[in-house]
Amino acid sequence: MRYSAFSLLAQAFRGHKGWTPAWRDPEPKAEYDVIIIGGGGHGLATAHYLASRHDITNVAVLEKGYLGSGNVGRNTTIIRSNYLLPGNTPFYELSMKLWEGLEQDLNYNAMVSQRGVINLYHSDAQRDAFARRGNAMRLAGVDSELLGQEQVRAMLPYLDYDNARFPVQGGLLQRRGGSARHDAVAWGYARAADSRGVDMLQNCEVTGITMVGGRAVGVETSRGPIRAKKIAMAVAGNSGRVAAMAGLRLPIETHVLQAFVSEGLKPLIDTVVTFGAGHFYISQSDKGGLVFGGDIDGYNSYAQRGNLPVIEDVMESAMALWPGLGRVRMLRHWGGVMDMSMDGSPIIDTTPVDGLYLNSGWCYGGFKATPASGFCFAHLIATGEPHPVAAAYRLDRFATGRLIDEKGAGAQPNLH
Ligand SMILES: Cc1cc2nc3c(=O)[nH]c(=O)nc-3n(C[C@H](O)[C@H](O)[C@H](O)COP(=O)(O)OP(=O)(O)OC[C@H]3O[C@@H](n4cnc5c(N)ncnc54)[C@H](O)[C@@H]3O)c2cc1C
């Protein structure tokens, strides 16, 4: 069923009784060409690009819960391509370009909103570092603008510019950055892949990987065994657990990240802002809630909920940047499990196990990467070769030393 203004009008005249489900609910087949483990953004995007760009449609996405129940439905929806390092910039810019055409590609309203992302700076040294990043972006063909204090003040008049500890001196702006409706992204990819014949198998937890002669040939699931020629892992915070089923130990730690939403307010902030003197970022959803977040909780956990110290830390940063927020009531908060890699950058690669492919290490920045991640992972699975913009995201870089440490934090996943 194709969505359009005309179909909306036609359904309105029929009392909206003719809408069909966005995807089928099939029984698992005995065998597929490709099995994708994980019905999050990356798994679903991979399925869509395998079907639409490589004509590989005998594919199943296996999701242990419901589609979008993981981080893709829990994140704070920020999309941007303001990266410094050559391994990252072209990849995230491809993602931004795919975001820009996503709704037409999927025939689905993912509410992509290029409202801009401003990273604030609070010292001369930080300004210089941001100028360097902005210049690197422009050299790579990515838009960036270095703003002074007055330009930022004109856009965000309510921030505390003269805070004695963290005066706001200016910001690095990427106007093409912004946000997208997170679960609509999952639903849009699922619907588009389903329409080309991909099976969405929900409530289908992978409990084992079947190996024959060192090759992965199938999976054990809560809905029975399924054979496959190729098996692709896209399970984000569960990467370590699923890889262990094939005897692999990954350079990944799982940490909790929390997000927060305030009560609904009239339009206050029409861009995304990140505080440069602490880990805090904020934007406003279309429903009016202020959406914000900060650091990971800092301990290893698979629990999709966080703890109080980070809540206090995030609120302190909020108050330092925007004291007026003290009058706002927080409505709800939640957590997701993040696949933190040792250098803060992702992995899209084959593994030492034949037939097993890995997509992981997204830390807390994987939502913006969803389109390019699926695009490049599908390319790898279909052709056996890494896509040129994802060529640096190799699993063996942790052994060879070719790290992509965007933050310069070292092998400390809790700091990335
Ligand atoms: C609070 C929070 C805020 C964030 N904010 C941002 C942001 O603003 N911008 C940004 O770019 N990124 C952000 N992120 C990060 C981003 O959400 C993730 O990096 C990205 O969603 C991970 O990829 P995914 O969508 O495929 O993961 P997921 O949606 O987690 O998908 C993985 C799926 O695998 C399934 N699974 C796991 N194990 C199995 C199994 N054994 N069998 C079958 N299925 C299994 C899970 O149920 C899950 O649905 C945020 C994350 C959180 C938690």
Q: pLDDT class for 244, splitting at 50, 70, 90?
A: very high
Mutation test of ligand 1: which of 257, 364, 406, 416 has the most ligand atoms closer than 8 Å to its C-beta? 364
Q: What is the mean pLDDT of residues 69-98?
A: 97
Q: What is the mean pLDDT of residues 344-351?
A: 98
Q: What is the mean pLDDT of residues 316-333?
A: 95
Alpha-carbon distance 150 to 168, whole Å? 10
Letter string b/e over residues 112-134, b meaning 16 or more CB atoms within 10 A of that residue's CB: bbbebbbbbbbeeebbeebeebb
How much of the chain, in percent, has pLDDT values that exceed 90? 96
Which residue has better confidence, 154 or 409? 154
Mutation test of ligand 1: which of 44, 64, 71, 341 has the most ligand atoms closer than 8 Å to its C-beta? 71
Q: Establish whether residue 235 lines the binding site of ligand 1, counting it when its CB lies within 6 angstroms of any ligand atom.
A: yes
Percent of residues in the chain assigned helix, strand, coil, to nearest 5: 30, 25, 40
Q: How many helices (H) and strands (E) does the chain have?
A: 11, 18
Q: What is the mean pLDDT of residues 360-365?
A: 96
pLDDT tens digits, one per residue of 161-184: 988 789 999 999 999 999 999 999
Q: What is the mean pLDDT of residues 242-269?
A: 97
Q: pLDDT class for 416, splitting at 50, 70, 90?
A: confident
Q: Establish whether residue 64 lines the binding site of ligand 1, counting it when its CB lies within 6 angstroms of any ligand atom.
A: yes
Q: pLDDT class for 150, splitting at 50, 70, 90?
A: very high
**Per-residue model confidence (pLDDT) at position 287:** 93
Q: What is the mean pLDDT of residues 235-246?
A: 98
Alpha-carbon distance 238 to 280, whole Å? 25
**Per-residue model confidence (pLDDT) at position 80:** 98
On the question of pLDDT at 111 being above 90, the answer is yes
Q: What is the mean pLDDT of residues 120-126?
A: 97
Q: Establish whether residue 65 lines the binding site of ligand 1, counting it when its CB lies within 6 angstroms of any ligand atom.
A: yes
Look-up: residue for tokens 């609509």?
184
On the question of pLDDT at 98 being above 90, the answer is yes
The 3-class secondary structure across 348-389, one letter per residue, is EEECCCECEEEEECCCCCCCCCHHHHHHHHHHHHHHCCCCHH
**Per-residue model confidence (pLDDT) at position 196:** 98
**Per-residue model confidence (pLDDT) at position 112:** 98
3-state secondary structure of 221: strand
Alpha helices in 254-367 (DSSP H): 308-321
Question: Is the separation of the CB atoms in 165 and 277 below 8 Å?
Answer: yes
**Per-residue model confidence (pLDDT) at position 171:** 98
**Per-residue model confidence (pLDDT) at position 415:** 85
Q: Residue 21: what are its φ and ψ, rounded to 5°?
A: -55, 145
Mutation test of ligand 1: which of 96, 174, 182, 235 has the most ligand atoms closer than 8 Å to its C-beta? 235
On the question of pLDDT at 65 being above 90, the answer is yes
Q: What is the mean pLDDT of residues 32-51?
A: 98
Q: What is the mean pLDDT of residues 80-108?
A: 97
- Residues forming beta bridges with residue 221, ordered by sequence position: 206
Q: Establish whether residue 348 lines the binding site of ligand 1, counting it when its CB lies within 6 angstroms of any ligand atom.
A: no
Nearest CA to ligand 1 atom 48: 70
Q: pLDDT class for 39, splitting at 50, 70, 90?
A: very high
Q: pLDDT class for 234, splitting at 50, 70, 90?
A: very high
Alpha-carbon distance 99 to 103, whole Å? 8
Q: What is the mean pLDDT of residues 203-227?
A: 98
3-state secondary structure of 304: coil
**Per-residue model confidence (pLDDT) at position 275:** 97
Q: What is the mean pLDDT of residues 195-207?
A: 98
